[in-house]
Amino acid sequence: MQEAVLNGNKWGQVASWCVLVASIIAYAFTGNLLLIALPFAFLFVLLTAVNWKAAYWIFLFIIPFSFHIEFANGSLSTTVPDEPIMWLFLLTTGLLVAKNPEIIKRNWLANPIVVIVVLQYVWLIIPVLYSHKPLLSLKFFAAKTWFLASFFLLPLFVFKDKKDFKKGFLVMFIPILITVCIIMVRHAAIGFNFRRIQVAIGKIYVNHVDYSTVMSMIFPVLCVALPLTKGKSLVLRGIIVLMILFLLPAIYFTYARAAVLAVFFAFVVGVAIRLKLVNFIMPVFYGALALLIVYMVHDKKFMDFRPDYEHTFMRKKFTDHLIATFKGQDMSSMERLYRWIAAVRMSTEEPIKGYGPNNFIYYYKEHAVPEFKTYVSRNFEHSTTHNYYLYMLVEQGWPAMLLYAALIMVVFAQAQKTYHRFKDRYYKYCTLGVIMMFAAGFINNFFSELIETDKVGCLFYLSIALLVVLTTKSKQMEQEAIAATQA
Protein backbone atom coordinates (compact mmCIF):
# COMPACT_ATOMS: atom_id res chain seq x y z
CA MET A 1 0.00 0.00 0.00
CA GLN A 2 2.77 2.40 1.00
CA GLU A 3 4.66 1.55 -2.21
CA ALA A 4 1.58 2.33 -4.29
CA VAL A 5 1.25 5.75 -2.62
CA LEU A 6 4.93 6.50 -3.21
CA ASN A 7 4.61 5.49 -6.87
CA GLY A 8 1.51 7.68 -7.19
CA ASN A 9 3.39 10.65 -5.76
CA LYS A 10 6.32 9.95 -8.09
CA TRP A 11 4.16 9.86 -11.19
CA GLY A 12 2.27 12.95 -10.00
CA GLN A 13 5.56 14.85 -9.75
CA VAL A 14 6.62 13.64 -13.19
CA ALA A 15 3.28 14.77 -14.67
CA SER A 16 3.58 18.17 -12.99
CA TRP A 17 7.09 18.73 -14.38
CA CYS A 18 5.95 17.66 -17.85
CA VAL A 19 3.09 20.16 -17.78
CA LEU A 20 5.43 22.92 -16.55
CA VAL A 21 7.99 22.31 -19.30
CA ALA A 22 5.28 22.03 -21.96
CA SER A 23 3.72 25.33 -20.89
CA ILE A 24 7.07 27.14 -20.99
CA ILE A 25 7.76 25.80 -24.50
CA ALA A 26 4.26 26.79 -25.64
CA TYR A 27 4.75 30.31 -24.24
CA ALA A 28 8.12 30.59 -26.02
CA PHE A 29 6.45 29.85 -29.36
CA THR A 30 3.20 31.80 -28.92
CA GLY A 31 4.00 34.58 -26.43
CA ASN A 32 0.67 33.87 -24.69
CA LEU A 33 1.10 34.50 -20.95
CA LEU A 34 -1.96 32.43 -20.13
CA LEU A 35 0.00 29.31 -21.08
CA ILE A 36 2.26 29.91 -18.08
CA ALA A 37 -0.81 29.39 -15.90
CA LEU A 38 -1.22 25.81 -17.12
CA PRO A 39 0.94 24.19 -14.39
CA PHE A 40 -0.98 26.06 -11.69
CA ALA A 41 -4.29 25.06 -13.25
CA PHE A 42 -3.13 21.46 -13.38
CA LEU A 43 -2.08 21.52 -9.71
CA PHE A 44 -5.37 23.18 -8.72
CA VAL A 45 -7.35 20.42 -10.43
CA LEU A 46 -5.28 17.84 -8.55
CA LEU A 47 -5.87 19.65 -5.27
CA THR A 48 -9.63 19.77 -5.94
CA ALA A 49 -9.64 16.02 -6.50
CA VAL A 50 -7.73 15.40 -3.26
CA ASN A 51 -9.15 18.16 -1.00
CA TRP A 52 -11.90 20.20 -2.64
CA LYS A 53 -12.52 22.31 0.51
CA ALA A 54 -8.91 23.54 0.56
CA ALA A 55 -9.27 24.36 -3.15
CA TYR A 56 -12.46 26.30 -2.38
CA TRP A 57 -10.71 28.49 0.20
CA ILE A 58 -8.00 29.27 -2.36
CA PHE A 59 -10.73 30.06 -4.88
CA LEU A 60 -12.36 32.60 -2.55
CA PHE A 61 -8.98 34.20 -1.88
CA ILE A 62 -8.17 34.82 -5.56
CA ILE A 63 -11.56 36.28 -6.59
CA PRO A 64 -10.63 39.90 -5.69
CA PHE A 65 -7.51 39.57 -7.88
CA SER A 66 -9.36 38.14 -10.90
CA PHE A 67 -9.67 40.27 -14.02
CA HIS A 68 -11.72 40.44 -17.20
CA ILE A 69 -10.42 39.25 -20.57
CA GLU A 70 -11.92 39.08 -24.06
CA PHE A 71 -11.10 36.74 -26.92
CA ALA A 72 -12.52 35.57 -30.26
CA ASN A 73 -12.52 39.22 -31.44
CA GLY A 74 -14.49 40.31 -28.39
CA SER A 75 -17.41 37.92 -28.98
CA LEU A 76 -16.49 35.91 -25.88
CA SER A 77 -15.27 37.10 -22.50
CA THR A 78 -14.57 35.75 -19.04
CA THR A 79 -12.83 36.60 -15.80
CA VAL A 80 -9.66 34.74 -14.90
CA PRO A 81 -8.78 32.76 -12.99
CA ASP A 82 -12.05 32.61 -11.04
CA GLU A 83 -14.57 31.75 -13.78
CA PRO A 84 -12.67 28.71 -15.14
CA ILE A 85 -12.49 27.50 -11.53
CA MET A 86 -16.29 27.89 -11.31
CA TRP A 87 -16.55 25.38 -14.18
CA LEU A 88 -14.59 22.93 -12.08
CA PHE A 89 -16.71 23.59 -8.99
CA LEU A 90 -19.89 23.09 -11.01
CA LEU A 91 -18.81 19.47 -11.44
CA THR A 92 -17.82 19.27 -7.77
CA THR A 93 -21.21 20.60 -6.68
CA GLY A 94 -23.02 18.10 -8.90
CA LEU A 95 -21.12 15.20 -7.32
CA LEU A 96 -21.77 16.46 -3.77
CA VAL A 97 -25.49 16.98 -4.42
CA ALA A 98 -25.78 13.50 -5.94
CA LYS A 99 -23.99 12.04 -2.91
CA ASN A 100 -26.12 13.88 -0.31
CA PRO A 101 -29.72 13.98 -1.62
CA GLU A 102 -31.22 13.62 1.86
CA ILE A 103 -29.47 16.76 3.15
CA ILE A 104 -31.01 18.72 0.30
CA LYS A 105 -34.52 17.51 0.98
CA ARG A 106 -34.28 17.76 4.77
CA ASN A 107 -32.39 21.03 5.30
CA TRP A 108 -32.40 23.08 2.12
CA LEU A 109 -35.73 22.69 0.35
CA ALA A 110 -37.49 23.42 3.64
CA ASN A 111 -35.93 26.88 3.55
CA PRO A 112 -37.96 29.51 1.60
CA ILE A 113 -34.77 31.27 0.46
CA VAL A 114 -33.61 28.10 -1.32
CA VAL A 115 -37.07 27.59 -2.81
CA ILE A 116 -37.11 31.13 -4.27
CA VAL A 117 -33.59 30.82 -5.71
CA VAL A 118 -34.57 27.48 -7.29
CA LEU A 119 -37.72 29.07 -8.75
CA GLN A 120 -35.65 31.96 -10.12
CA TYR A 121 -33.35 29.48 -11.86
CA VAL A 122 -36.22 27.35 -13.21
CA TRP A 123 -38.08 30.41 -14.51
CA LEU A 124 -34.89 31.63 -16.21
CA ILE A 125 -35.27 28.72 -18.64
CA ILE A 126 -38.44 30.30 -20.11
CA PRO A 127 -36.91 33.70 -21.05
CA VAL A 128 -33.89 31.86 -22.47
CA LEU A 129 -36.06 29.61 -24.66
CA TYR A 130 -38.09 32.58 -25.96
CA SER A 131 -35.18 35.03 -26.13
CA HIS A 132 -34.93 37.54 -28.97
CA LYS A 133 -31.22 36.67 -29.13
CA PRO A 134 -30.99 33.03 -27.96
CA LEU A 135 -27.20 32.62 -28.08
CA LEU A 136 -26.59 35.59 -25.78
CA SER A 137 -29.24 34.34 -23.37
CA LEU A 138 -27.79 30.84 -23.40
CA LYS A 139 -24.40 32.27 -22.38
CA PHE A 140 -26.11 34.06 -19.48
CA PHE A 141 -27.87 30.84 -18.42
CA ALA A 142 -24.61 28.86 -18.47
CA ALA A 143 -22.80 31.52 -16.42
CA LYS A 144 -25.69 31.67 -13.93
CA THR A 145 -25.48 27.90 -13.51
CA TRP A 146 -21.85 27.72 -12.44
CA PHE A 147 -22.25 30.97 -10.50
CA LEU A 148 -25.04 29.53 -8.32
CA ALA A 149 -23.15 26.26 -7.94
CA SER A 150 -19.99 28.02 -6.71
CA PHE A 151 -21.49 30.72 -4.50
CA PHE A 152 -24.88 29.45 -3.37
CA LEU A 153 -24.84 25.64 -3.31
CA LEU A 154 -21.21 24.79 -2.56
CA PRO A 155 -20.97 27.08 0.51
CA LEU A 156 -23.76 25.01 2.07
CA PHE A 157 -21.29 22.11 2.14
CA VAL A 158 -18.29 24.22 3.20
CA PHE A 159 -19.49 26.30 6.15
CA LYS A 160 -20.14 23.99 9.06
CA ASP A 161 -18.93 25.64 12.27
CA LYS A 162 -17.30 28.74 13.75
CA LYS A 163 -13.83 28.14 12.34
CA ASP A 164 -15.28 28.04 8.81
CA PHE A 165 -16.93 31.45 9.28
CA LYS A 166 -13.67 32.89 10.62
CA LYS A 167 -11.69 31.41 7.75
CA GLY A 168 -14.24 32.61 5.21
CA PHE A 169 -14.02 36.17 6.53
CA LEU A 170 -10.22 36.17 6.40
CA VAL A 171 -9.83 34.63 2.93
CA MET A 172 -12.25 37.19 1.50
CA PHE A 173 -11.36 40.30 3.49
CA ILE A 174 -7.55 40.12 3.28
CA PRO A 175 -7.34 40.11 -0.55
CA ILE A 176 -10.04 42.80 -0.79
CA LEU A 177 -8.04 44.94 1.64
CA ILE A 178 -4.91 44.40 -0.48
CA THR A 179 -6.74 45.63 -3.60
CA VAL A 180 -8.04 48.67 -1.71
CA CYS A 181 -4.50 49.54 -0.52
CA ILE A 182 -3.14 49.27 -4.09
CA ILE A 183 -5.92 51.48 -5.48
CA MET A 184 -5.64 54.04 -2.68
CA VAL A 185 -1.88 54.40 -3.29
CA ARG A 186 -2.49 54.86 -7.02
CA HIS A 187 -5.32 57.31 -6.38
CA ALA A 188 -3.23 59.32 -3.89
CA ALA A 189 -0.52 59.64 -6.55
CA ILE A 190 -2.99 61.53 -8.77
CA GLY A 191 -4.35 63.66 -5.92
CA PHE A 192 -7.53 61.61 -5.37
CA ASN A 193 -8.84 63.10 -8.61
CA PHE A 194 -12.61 62.65 -8.99
CA ARG A 195 -12.52 62.22 -12.76
CA ARG A 196 -9.55 59.81 -12.77
CA ILE A 197 -10.66 57.21 -10.22
CA GLN A 198 -10.80 54.60 -13.00
CA VAL A 199 -7.08 55.17 -13.70
CA ALA A 200 -6.34 54.20 -10.09
CA ILE A 201 -8.59 51.14 -10.27
CA GLY A 202 -7.04 49.87 -13.49
CA LYS A 203 -8.07 46.29 -14.29
CA ILE A 204 -8.52 45.18 -10.68
CA TYR A 205 -12.24 46.02 -10.81
CA VAL A 206 -14.50 46.62 -13.80
CA ASN A 207 -15.20 50.20 -12.71
CA HIS A 208 -15.57 52.41 -9.64
CA VAL A 209 -19.13 51.15 -9.09
CA ASP A 210 -17.95 47.54 -8.82
CA TYR A 211 -15.10 48.62 -6.55
CA SER A 212 -17.25 50.78 -4.26
CA THR A 213 -19.94 48.09 -4.00
CA VAL A 214 -17.48 45.47 -2.80
CA MET A 215 -16.15 47.87 -0.16
CA SER A 216 -19.62 48.90 1.00
CA MET A 217 -20.58 45.22 1.39
CA ILE A 218 -17.45 44.16 3.29
CA PHE A 219 -17.32 47.24 5.56
CA PRO A 220 -20.34 46.33 7.77
CA VAL A 221 -18.91 42.82 8.26
CA LEU A 222 -15.68 44.35 9.55
CA CYS A 223 -17.64 46.56 11.95
CA VAL A 224 -19.56 43.52 13.24
CA ALA A 225 -16.25 41.66 13.75
CA LEU A 226 -15.08 44.35 16.21
CA PRO A 227 -17.42 43.43 19.12
CA LEU A 228 -16.48 39.76 18.65
CA THR A 229 -12.91 40.64 19.69
CA LYS A 230 -14.13 41.90 23.09
CA GLY A 231 -11.94 40.45 25.83
CA LYS A 232 -9.28 39.39 23.34
CA SER A 233 -5.94 40.89 22.34
CA LEU A 234 -5.83 44.70 22.31
CA VAL A 235 -3.56 44.46 19.28
CA LEU A 236 -6.26 42.57 17.36
CA ARG A 237 -8.92 45.11 18.34
CA GLY A 238 -6.57 47.93 17.38
CA ILE A 239 -5.95 46.41 13.95
CA ILE A 240 -9.68 46.13 13.27
CA VAL A 241 -10.28 49.72 14.40
CA LEU A 242 -7.48 50.93 12.11
CA MET A 243 -8.96 49.01 9.17
CA ILE A 244 -12.38 50.54 9.83
CA LEU A 245 -10.84 54.02 9.93
CA PHE A 246 -8.96 53.24 6.70
CA LEU A 247 -12.01 51.96 4.81
CA LEU A 248 -14.22 54.93 5.68
CA PRO A 249 -12.22 57.46 3.59
CA ALA A 250 -11.54 54.73 1.00
CA ILE A 251 -15.30 54.38 0.44
CA TYR A 252 -15.67 58.14 0.19
CA PHE A 253 -12.86 58.39 -2.38
CA THR A 254 -14.66 55.95 -4.68
CA TYR A 255 -17.00 58.89 -5.28
CA ALA A 256 -19.96 56.50 -5.50
CA ARG A 257 -23.15 57.86 -3.96
CA ALA A 258 -24.87 54.47 -3.94
CA ALA A 259 -22.04 52.92 -1.88
CA VAL A 260 -22.33 55.60 0.81
CA LEU A 261 -26.11 55.13 0.91
CA ALA A 262 -25.59 51.34 1.04
CA VAL A 263 -23.39 51.55 4.14
CA PHE A 264 -25.99 53.73 5.86
CA PHE A 265 -28.81 51.33 4.89
CA ALA A 266 -26.81 48.31 6.11
CA PHE A 267 -26.57 49.81 9.59
CA VAL A 268 -30.27 50.74 9.55
CA VAL A 269 -31.06 47.09 8.79
CA GLY A 270 -28.69 45.94 11.55
CA VAL A 271 -30.45 48.13 14.13
CA ALA A 272 -33.90 47.14 12.82
CA ILE A 273 -33.09 43.43 13.21
CA ARG A 274 -32.00 43.90 16.80
CA LEU A 275 -35.24 45.83 17.51
CA LYS A 276 -37.36 43.28 15.56
CA LEU A 277 -38.47 45.95 13.09
CA VAL A 278 -36.85 44.77 9.87
CA ASN A 279 -40.08 43.26 8.49
CA PHE A 280 -41.46 46.78 8.08
CA ILE A 281 -38.57 48.03 5.92
CA MET A 282 -39.35 46.39 2.58
CA PRO A 283 -43.17 46.86 2.68
CA VAL A 284 -42.58 50.56 3.40
CA PHE A 285 -39.92 50.67 0.66
CA TYR A 286 -42.18 49.00 -1.91
CA GLY A 287 -45.17 51.11 -0.87
CA ALA A 288 -43.22 54.36 -1.24
CA LEU A 289 -41.88 53.17 -4.59
CA ALA A 290 -45.39 52.35 -5.84
CA LEU A 291 -46.70 55.78 -4.81
CA LEU A 292 -43.76 57.46 -6.53
CA ILE A 293 -44.43 55.54 -9.75
CA VAL A 294 -48.14 56.44 -9.69
CA TYR A 295 -47.24 60.10 -9.12
CA MET A 296 -44.73 60.12 -11.98
CA VAL A 297 -46.98 58.33 -14.46
CA HIS A 298 -50.09 60.45 -13.76
CA ASP A 299 -50.42 63.07 -16.50
CA LYS A 300 -46.84 62.18 -17.53
CA LYS A 301 -45.43 64.04 -14.56
CA PHE A 302 -42.04 62.42 -15.20
CA MET A 303 -41.59 64.70 -18.20
CA ASP A 304 -41.17 67.63 -15.80
CA PHE A 305 -37.86 66.08 -14.72
CA ARG A 306 -36.31 65.88 -18.18
CA PRO A 307 -32.74 67.22 -18.12
CA ASP A 308 -31.28 70.27 -19.77
CA TYR A 309 -28.97 68.56 -22.26
CA GLU A 310 -26.37 71.33 -22.30
CA HIS A 311 -26.05 71.57 -18.51
CA THR A 312 -26.29 67.86 -17.68
CA PHE A 313 -22.75 66.53 -17.68
CA MET A 314 -20.07 64.99 -15.42
CA ARG A 315 -18.62 67.48 -12.95
CA LYS A 316 -14.94 67.87 -12.09
CA LYS A 317 -15.42 67.69 -8.31
CA PHE A 318 -17.44 65.27 -6.18
CA THR A 319 -19.14 68.09 -4.24
CA ASP A 320 -20.29 69.65 -7.54
CA HIS A 321 -21.42 66.18 -8.58
CA LEU A 322 -23.64 65.90 -5.49
CA ILE A 323 -25.10 69.39 -5.97
CA ALA A 324 -25.85 68.61 -9.62
CA THR A 325 -27.68 65.45 -8.50
CA PHE A 326 -30.17 67.47 -6.45
CA LYS A 327 -30.58 69.97 -9.30
CA GLY A 328 -31.31 67.23 -11.82
CA GLN A 329 -28.18 68.17 -13.78
CA ASP A 330 -26.06 65.11 -12.99
CA MET A 331 -25.39 63.06 -16.11
CA SER A 332 -25.32 59.60 -14.49
CA SER A 333 -28.61 60.18 -12.64
CA MET A 334 -30.37 61.51 -15.73
CA GLU A 335 -29.01 58.65 -17.83
CA ARG A 336 -30.57 56.27 -15.32
CA LEU A 337 -33.96 57.94 -15.84
CA TYR A 338 -33.45 57.67 -19.60
CA ARG A 339 -32.96 53.90 -19.31
CA TRP A 340 -35.57 53.32 -16.61
CA ILE A 341 -38.26 54.91 -18.77
CA ALA A 342 -37.12 52.82 -21.74
CA ALA A 343 -37.19 49.66 -19.61
CA VAL A 344 -40.76 50.28 -18.40
CA ARG A 345 -41.94 50.91 -21.96
CA MET A 346 -40.15 47.77 -23.18
CA SER A 347 -41.81 45.64 -20.49
CA THR A 348 -45.26 46.34 -21.92
CA GLU A 349 -44.32 44.44 -25.09
CA GLU A 350 -42.90 41.34 -23.34
CA PRO A 351 -44.48 41.41 -19.86
CA ILE A 352 -44.26 37.70 -19.01
CA LYS A 353 -41.22 36.12 -20.63
CA GLY A 354 -39.19 39.28 -21.25
CA TYR A 355 -36.80 39.93 -24.11
CA GLY A 356 -34.33 37.35 -22.82
CA PRO A 357 -31.14 37.67 -20.73
CA ASN A 358 -28.44 39.93 -22.21
CA ASN A 359 -30.94 41.51 -24.62
CA PHE A 360 -31.73 44.93 -23.10
CA ILE A 361 -28.96 46.90 -24.77
CA TYR A 362 -30.08 45.86 -28.25
CA TYR A 363 -33.66 47.12 -27.99
CA TYR A 364 -33.99 49.84 -25.35
CA LYS A 365 -33.06 52.91 -27.44
CA GLU A 366 -36.09 52.57 -29.70
CA HIS A 367 -38.27 52.70 -26.55
CA ALA A 368 -36.44 55.60 -24.90
CA VAL A 369 -37.80 59.14 -24.58
CA PRO A 370 -35.40 61.44 -26.50
CA GLU A 371 -35.98 64.33 -24.06
CA PHE A 372 -34.03 62.38 -21.39
CA LYS A 373 -30.99 61.74 -23.57
CA THR A 374 -27.55 62.69 -22.16
CA TYR A 375 -23.99 62.87 -23.42
CA VAL A 376 -23.42 59.18 -22.57
CA SER A 377 -26.61 57.81 -24.12
CA ARG A 378 -24.60 56.32 -26.97
CA ASN A 379 -23.62 53.70 -24.39
CA PHE A 380 -20.34 52.49 -25.87
CA GLU A 381 -19.69 50.34 -22.78
CA HIS A 382 -22.98 48.40 -23.31
CA SER A 383 -24.21 48.93 -19.75
CA THR A 384 -27.81 48.02 -18.99
CA THR A 385 -30.79 49.28 -16.96
CA HIS A 386 -28.96 50.48 -13.81
CA ASN A 387 -31.69 48.93 -11.66
CA TYR A 388 -31.90 45.22 -10.86
CA TYR A 389 -35.71 45.17 -10.60
CA LEU A 390 -36.09 46.64 -14.08
CA TYR A 391 -33.25 44.43 -15.31
CA MET A 392 -35.31 41.39 -14.27
CA LEU A 393 -38.55 42.88 -15.62
CA VAL A 394 -37.24 43.67 -19.09
CA GLU A 395 -35.13 40.59 -19.71
CA GLN A 396 -37.02 37.91 -17.73
CA GLY A 397 -40.52 39.32 -17.25
CA TRP A 398 -42.80 40.04 -14.29
CA PRO A 399 -42.36 36.59 -12.65
CA ALA A 400 -38.58 37.13 -12.37
CA MET A 401 -38.97 40.63 -10.95
CA LEU A 402 -41.58 39.49 -8.39
CA LEU A 403 -39.39 36.56 -7.34
CA TYR A 404 -36.48 38.94 -6.76
CA ALA A 405 -38.72 41.29 -4.76
CA ALA A 406 -39.92 38.33 -2.68
CA LEU A 407 -36.35 37.14 -2.14
CA ILE A 408 -35.34 40.46 -0.59
CA MET A 409 -38.27 40.39 1.85
CA VAL A 410 -37.77 36.74 2.81
CA VAL A 411 -34.02 37.18 3.39
CA PHE A 412 -34.58 40.12 5.77
CA ALA A 413 -37.38 38.32 7.61
CA GLN A 414 -35.38 35.10 7.98
CA ALA A 415 -32.30 36.97 9.20
CA GLN A 416 -34.34 38.57 11.98
CA LYS A 417 -35.79 35.21 13.09
CA THR A 418 -32.38 33.54 12.96
CA TYR A 419 -30.68 36.34 14.90
CA HIS A 420 -33.18 36.17 17.77
CA ARG A 421 -33.30 32.35 17.76
CA PHE A 422 -29.57 32.11 18.46
CA LYS A 423 -28.36 32.19 22.05
CA ASP A 424 -24.74 31.91 20.96
CA ARG A 425 -23.28 35.43 20.74
CA TYR A 426 -20.82 34.54 17.97
CA TYR A 427 -23.52 33.19 15.65
CA LYS A 428 -25.79 36.15 16.42
CA TYR A 429 -23.11 38.53 15.19
CA CYS A 430 -22.40 36.31 12.17
CA THR A 431 -26.07 36.58 11.23
CA LEU A 432 -25.93 40.34 11.67
CA GLY A 433 -22.79 40.63 9.52
CA VAL A 434 -24.23 38.46 6.76
CA ILE A 435 -27.51 40.39 6.50
CA MET A 436 -25.78 43.78 6.62
CA MET A 437 -23.54 42.69 3.76
CA PHE A 438 -26.65 41.59 1.85
CA ALA A 439 -28.42 44.90 2.62
CA ALA A 440 -25.51 46.93 1.23
CA GLY A 441 -25.55 44.80 -1.91
CA PHE A 442 -29.29 45.31 -2.28
CA ILE A 443 -29.00 49.11 -2.30
CA ASN A 444 -26.11 49.11 -4.77
CA ASN A 445 -28.11 46.87 -7.09
CA PHE A 446 -31.09 49.17 -6.90
CA PHE A 447 -28.96 51.62 -8.90
CA SER A 448 -27.02 49.02 -10.92
CA GLU A 449 -27.09 45.34 -11.86
CA LEU A 450 -23.95 43.84 -10.37
CA ILE A 451 -25.18 40.46 -9.17
CA GLU A 452 -23.92 38.86 -12.37
CA THR A 453 -20.36 40.15 -11.86
CA ASP A 454 -17.85 37.91 -10.10
CA LYS A 455 -16.73 40.15 -7.23
CA VAL A 456 -20.13 41.56 -6.22
CA GLY A 457 -22.19 38.50 -7.16
CA CYS A 458 -20.06 36.20 -5.05
CA LEU A 459 -20.65 38.35 -1.94
CA PHE A 460 -24.38 38.60 -2.69
CA TYR A 461 -24.95 34.86 -3.07
CA LEU A 462 -22.52 33.95 -0.29
CA SER A 463 -24.48 36.17 2.09
CA ILE A 464 -27.77 34.36 1.45
CA ALA A 465 -26.08 30.93 1.40
CA LEU A 466 -24.52 31.65 4.79
CA LEU A 467 -27.89 32.80 6.08
CA VAL A 468 -29.34 29.42 5.03
CA VAL A 469 -26.52 27.68 6.93
CA LEU A 470 -27.05 29.87 10.00
CA THR A 471 -30.81 29.31 9.95
CA THR A 472 -30.34 25.55 9.88
CA LYS A 473 -27.79 25.73 12.69
CA SER A 474 -30.02 27.97 14.83
CA LYS A 475 -32.87 25.46 14.57
CA GLN A 476 -30.57 22.57 15.44
CA MET A 477 -29.16 24.41 18.46
CA GLU A 478 -32.67 25.35 19.60
CA GLN A 479 -33.81 21.71 19.37
CA GLU A 480 -30.72 20.58 21.28
CA ALA A 481 -31.40 23.13 24.01
CA ILE A 482 -35.04 21.97 24.31
CA ALA A 483 -33.93 18.34 24.45
CA ALA A 484 -31.36 19.14 27.15
CA THR A 485 -34.00 20.94 29.21
CA GLN A 486 -36.46 18.05 28.96
CA ALA A 487 -33.75 15.56 29.92
Please give the Cα distance from 140 to 145 (Å, whole number): 9
Proportion of the chain above pLDDT 70, given as a percent = 85
Task: Name the region of 191 (left: φ>0; alpha: ψ -120 to 50; beta: rest).
Answer: left
Q: Per residue in 251-265, pLDDT tens?
A: 999 988 899 999 999
Q: Per residue in 131-140, pLDDT tens?
A: 999 999 999 9
| Residue 18 pLDDT greater than 50, yes or no | yes
Categorize the per-residue pLDDT at 335 as very low, low, confident or very high, splitting at 50, 70 and 90. confident
In this structure, are residues 324 and 330 in contact, taking their beta carbons and an 8 Å threshold? yes
| Residue 336 pLDDT greater than 70, yes or no | yes
Burial class (CB in 10 A: 0-12, 13-18, 19+), 25: exposed
Q: Per residue in 112-169, pLDDT tens?
A: 999 999 999 999 999 999 999 999 999 999 999 999 999 999 999 999 999 999 999 9
Q: Per residue in 176-222, pLDDT tens?
A: 999 999 999 999 999 998 888 999 999 899 889 999 999 999 999 99
> Could you give the 3-state DSSP secondary structure of residue 70?
strand
Q: Per residue in 49-104, pLDDT tens?
A: 989 999 999 999 999 998 888 765 655 678 888 999 999 999 999 999 888 877 77
Sign of CA dihedral 43, 49, 53, 56: positive
If residue 67 lies in a helix (H) or strand (E), which one and from where to where?
Answer: strand 67-71
Please work out, in degrees rounded to the nearest 5, the angle formed at the alpha carbon of residue 335 by the alpha carbons of 333 and 337. 75
Complete DSSP assignment for 72-115: TTTTEEEEETHHHHHHHHHHHHHHHHHH-HHHIIIIITTSHHHH
| Residue 323 pLDDT greater than 60, yes or no | no
| pLDDT for the residue numbered 312 | 52
In this structure, are residues 359 and 131 in contact, taking their beta carbons and an 8 Å threshold? yes
User: What residues pair up with 79 in beta bridges, in sequence order?
Assistant: 68
